[in-house]
Structure 1
Amino acid sequence: MRDLANPLKVIEILSDGHFHSGEELASIFGITRAGINKYIKVIRQWGIELSSVQGKGYQLAYPLNLLNEQKITHYYLQKSSQPVALDIIPVINSTNQYLLDNLAELSSGNACVAEFQQAGRGRRGRQWFSPFGSNLYLSLYWRLEQGPAAAMGLSLMIGIVVAKVLRELSGQDIKVKWPNDLYLDDKKLAGILVEIAGKAGDIAHVVMGMGINLNMHNPDSGIVNQAWSNLGNIDRNLLVANLLYHLRQALVCFEKQGFAAFLAEWNPLDNFANRPVKLIIGETVIKGVARGINQQGALLLEQNGQITPYIGGEISLRADN
């Protein structure tokens, strides 16, 4: 893999929001202008928008709040005496895949965060649009001794915790959408992907990934094909610290009590509660009114006065407009 240290350093220099000339950058790195142009090309491939003005140089089109290990650790230790246990990898294929590839070395609570994912993924293998520094891409590992069955409702619990953290930091009315999304103003704000390694009756290795839109601009319409929203300007380092702390606390509770301990928190946050919806299961569309969820995390759909629970990884929920 090519060395990415210098393109990353260029981003760090440009993150002050000012213009920096090609000559200045070439001098810093001790290379030619042509070498700097190669770095700029790499940076643009990561989804960073740059202005290039003759006589002035390069400037970021939008400010970047870069991830910083010292800042995250500082914020985290204000809440916990435990180690932050976080790998910051600026450019990665997938934060979930990174943890899955390193299960043997992980302890419960270990996490990974990235600035850019080259192969980020969502549910059912869909690509997750992951431009550099615009959003947050975080994955967390947990070991469930009771096995895969004990993970029932886990993605819903994560949605509740993440929504509460985002509401607290932004002051906005963040909602949850069954089974694994967060919404703001009826538009997708974040997605959650839970992946489990382990067989029935054996220990479950659980990796929980989340992608949260913060300041995304001009996403690829071939990947982002539904209405989306941004959380806006918040300190990403504070966000990482708060998410790690609250998710770890919640996972300890989840291990002992399961999703039942979080059920009451779902309804006030439910984006589609008591609204007409449609479930898409393969080629089948089922319409009804969403009536919350049950203790197993199944969606409750009312049709003609009858309520039916639906659960499974191949169901999509949409508003029925």
Structure 2
Amino acid sequence: MRDLSNPLKVIDLLSDGECHSGEELAAIFGITRAAVNKYIKLIREWGVELTSVPRKGYQLTYPLDLLKFAKIEHFYTQHTDKPINLDVIPVIDSTNQYLLERLNTLSTGFACVAEYQQAGRGRRGRQWFSPFASNLYLSMYWRLEQGPAAAMGLSLAIGIVIAQVLREISGQDIKVKWPNDLYLNDKKLAGILVEIAGKTGDVAHIVIGMGINLRMHNPNQDIVNQAWSNLGDIDRNLLVAKLLYRLRDALYCFETEGLSAFIKQWQPLDNFADRPVKLIIGETEIKGIAKGINEQGALLLEQNGILKAYIGGEISLRADNTK
């Protein structure tokens, strides 16, 4: 595996917001100016925006709030005496894939968080735009003894918990969107990807991944092709800690009560509650009024006074702006 320690140290040095010359960086690492330029090029490829100031050096276009295990652990232990069980990995292919490749060695509740994903993914294998230190990329492993069938509606419960945490930490009106997104001001703020390994009748190994937009700048429009929002300038280390202990508490609750324990919390957070929407199923559009979810996690759609439930993996929910 390629050694990325020096480029990461360059980012750490630049995170103070000051200018650092190429000569200074070369001296610190005992390398040539040409090698420093290679590090700078790689860092820019990760999505870090740098300016080159003539006769002064390199400076971040905007400050970075870097993830630090010690800071996350400090916030986490203020709320629980349970061990944190977290890997902080600056550069990774995918936080979900990292856990999926280690299922047999993980304890329930183990998590990993990254600054940058080289191969982040969303639903249906779509690429997930993952610039360095601009957003939050977090995955958690959970062992569900009841098996895969007991995970029905899990992404909805997770969405509720994440929305509540983001509302508390930012003071903004974060909403949930069926089945696995969070919205702010009618724009996508975060996505959730739940992946399950295990056969019917066996233990379910569940990996819950999330990507949350915090301070994203100039995203690749070939990847981010819908309206999006940023949560804004918050303490990322505090956010990780709060998500970890709140999600763990919620997952213990889900184990015993399932989605039914979360149903009442969905409606006040539902971005499309009582609004005209359309479901896109392949080439078909189905229009109606969104009326929340049922205990199986299905979307309830009112059509001509009749309530019908829709559930499935290939359904997309959109606002119906034709009226």
Q: Distance in 1 between matches of 2:150 and 2:308?
A: 23
For structure 1, the residue ranges without an aligned partner over 5 or more in a row are none
- Measured after TM superposition, the shift of residue 194 of structure 1 is 0.1
- 1:202 is the counterpart of 2:202: yes
Q: Which runs of 4+ in 1 moved over 2 A?
A: none
Q: Cα deviation per residue 1:76-102 (whole Å; 9 max; x = unaligned)?
A: 000010111000110000000000000
1:48 aligned partner: 48
Q: Distance in 1 between matches of 2:131 and 2:263?
A: 34
1:83 aligned partner: 83
Q: Cα deviation per residue 1:23-64 (whole Å; 9 max; x = unaligned)?
A: 110010011100100100110110111101220100111110
Which aligned pairs between 1:136-285 and structure 2 lie closer than 5 A? 136-285=136-285
Q: Distance in 2 between matches of 1:174 and 1:313?
A: 24
Task: Give the counterpart letter for 2:237 in structure 1.
Answer: N
Q: Distance in 1 between matches of 2:124 and 2:283?
A: 15
Task: Give the counterpart letter for 1:172 in structure 2.
Answer: Q
Q: Distance in 2 between matches of 1:8 and 1:40?
A: 10
- Measured after TM superposition, the shift of residue 293 of structure 1 is 0.5
1:11 aligned partner: 11
Percent of paired sites with the same residue = 77
Q: Distance in 1 between matches of 2:140 and 2:268?
A: 26
Q: Distance in 2 between matches of 1:237 and 1:265?
A: 26
- Measured after TM superposition, the shift of residue 163 of structure 1 is 0.3
Task: Give the structure-1-normalised TM-score.
Answer: 0.99
For structure 2, the residue ranges without an aligned partner over 5 or more in a row are none
1:101 aligned partner: 101
- Measured after TM superposition, the shift of residue 65 of structure 1 is 0.2
Task: Give the structure-2-normalised TM-score.
Answer: 0.99
Count of aligned residue pairs for this structure pair: 321
Q: What root-mean-square deviation, in Å, do the aligned CA atoms of Structure 1 and Structure 2 show?
A: 0.5
Task: Give the counterpart letter for 1:205 in structure 2.
Answer: H
Q: Distance in 2 between matches of 1:59 and 1:200?
A: 54
Q: Distance in 2 between matches of 1:5 and 1:262?
A: 43
Q: Cα deviation per residue 1:152-198 (whole Å; 9 max; x = unaligned)?
A: 11000000000000000000000000000000000000000000000
